[in-house]
Amino acid sequence: MAATPKQLREKAQTVCERLVALYGAQPLVPRREPMHELISTILSHRTTQENEEVAYRNMWKRFGSWEAIRDAPVDELTEALSPANYPEVKAPYIKGALERIFAERGEASLEFLRDMPVDQALDWLMSLPGVGIKTASLVLLFCFSKPVLPVDTHVHRVSQRVGLIGPKVTPNAAHALLLDLLPPDPYVLFNFHIANLKHGQRICVWGTPHCERCPLTDICDWYQANRARQ
């Protein structure tokens, strides 16, 4: 029997509370300037955090300004971004995003998003080359404390296994479904994201999860189906 919306919201609250208790509540303080956050998140796709950071530093060391990055030959920018996976794809995305931002705003700044309604801000960011719902949501939540929820591969995996979303729900579709299960409080949404990300990295890993260390087994659909009777 499928869970009701009320039951799913209660489960989402329980998941959030238990994982935040496990990993610790984090303050919602911007870790990076918005332009840095945007471009680094584009670089982060299918790339380790270490390689993302090396690629970003290489780019800045070689070109030195957003204007120079915008105007760089695509092959030179691709070479600078080579520590990240798929630099030949990301270089045109970054150049295209910068060209659009400069053309519309006259400067390399996303501060205007602070006062823009959430839906409009999401649409604007997602109109940039290489920016999907995850990247747009991350920039708006992390930098501007907007009530949105980024769903990366770890958040998606944990939410699917626990049973907050169905087995066929895509990461893109999961953004709206999970957001609807949580209160529209940026601090709660941020900590749900961070705690689930850490849980997916450390315990609810891809492949064989470490259920013996998980505080969610009594409410986890995957555990009940695969491990509870072992």
* Residue carrying the six token digits 């770890």: 154
Q: Are residues 190 and 216 in the same domain?
A: yes
Predicted confidence at residue 99, as pLDDT, reads: 98
Q: How far apart are CA 154 and CA 44, in angstroms?
A: 14
Predicted confidence at residue 28, as pLDDT, reads: 97
Average pLDDT (183-211) is 97
Q: Is residue 230 scored above 70 in pLDDT?
A: no
- The HSE-up count of residue 156 (CA atoms within 13 Å, CB side) is 16
- For 155, the domain range is 5-27+150-225
With a pLDDT cut of 70, the percent of the chain lying above it is 99
Q: Is residue 1 scored above 80 in pLDDT?
A: no
Q: What is the CATH number of the domain that holds 216?
A: 1.10.1670.10
**Taking the model in full, what pTM does it have?**
0.94
Q: Are residues 97 and 185 in the same domain?
A: no
Q: Which of 110, 144, 178 is the last residue of a domain?
A: 144
Quick check: 198 and 214 in contact, CB under 8 A? no
Output 103 or 227, whichever has higher pLDDT. Answer: 103
Q: Is residue 2 scored above 90 in pLDDT?
A: no
Q: Which two tokens stand for residue 61?
A: 């060391």
Give a yes or no: residue 205 inside a domain: yes
Q: Are residues 65 and 97 in the same domain?
A: yes
Q: What is the pLDDT of residues 64-117, one digit of tens each?
A: 999 999 999 999 999 999 999 999 999 999 999 999 999 999 999 999 999 999
Q: Are residues 176 and 137 in the same domain?
A: no
Residue 164, amino acid: L
Q: Are residues 48 and 98 in the same domain?
A: yes
Output 230 or 213, whichever has higher pLDDT. Answer: 213
Give a yes or no: residue 101 inside a domain: yes
Q: Are residues 62 and 130 in the same domain?
A: yes
Q: Is residue 59 scored above 90 in pLDDT?
A: yes
Q: What is the pLDDT of residues 7-27, one digit of tens each?
A: 999 999 999 999 999 999 999
Q: Are residues 134 and 50 in the same domain?
A: yes
Chain CA centroid to CA 27, Å: 17
Q: What is the CATH number of the domain that holds 122?
A: 1.10.340.30
Q: How far apart are CA 210 and CA 202, in angstroms?
A: 8
Greatest pairwise CA separation for the chain in angstroms:
62
Q: Are residues 68 and 136 in the same domain?
A: yes
Average pLDDT (151-174) is 97
Give a yes or no: residue 230 inside a domain: no
Query: How sure is the predictor about 124, in pLDDT bands with cuts at 50, 70 and 90?
Result: very high
Q: Is residue 229 scored above 80 in pLDDT?
A: no
Q: Are residues 127 and 43 in the same domain?
A: yes
Q: How far apart are CA 56 and CA 93, in angstroms?
A: 14
Output 229 or 184, whichever has higher pLDDT. Answer: 184
Give a yes or no: residue 216 inside a domain: yes
Predicted confidence at residue 175, as pLDDT, reads: 98
Give a yes or no: residue 89 inside a domain: yes
Give a yes or no: residue 83 inside a domain: yes
Q: Are residues 97 and 183 in the same domain?
A: no
Q: Are residues 189 and 97 in the same domain?
A: no
Q: How far apart are CA 46 and CA 134, in angstroms?
A: 13
Q: Are residues 114 and 53 in the same domain?
A: yes
Q: What is the pLDDT of residues 172-185, one digit of tens each?
A: 999 999 999 999 99
Overall number of domains in the chain: 2
Q: Which of 103, 126, 144 is the last residue of a domain?
A: 144
Give a yes or no: residue 99 inside a domain: yes
Give a yes or no: residue 11 inside a domain: yes
Q: Which of 144, 165, 199 is the last residue of a domain?
A: 144
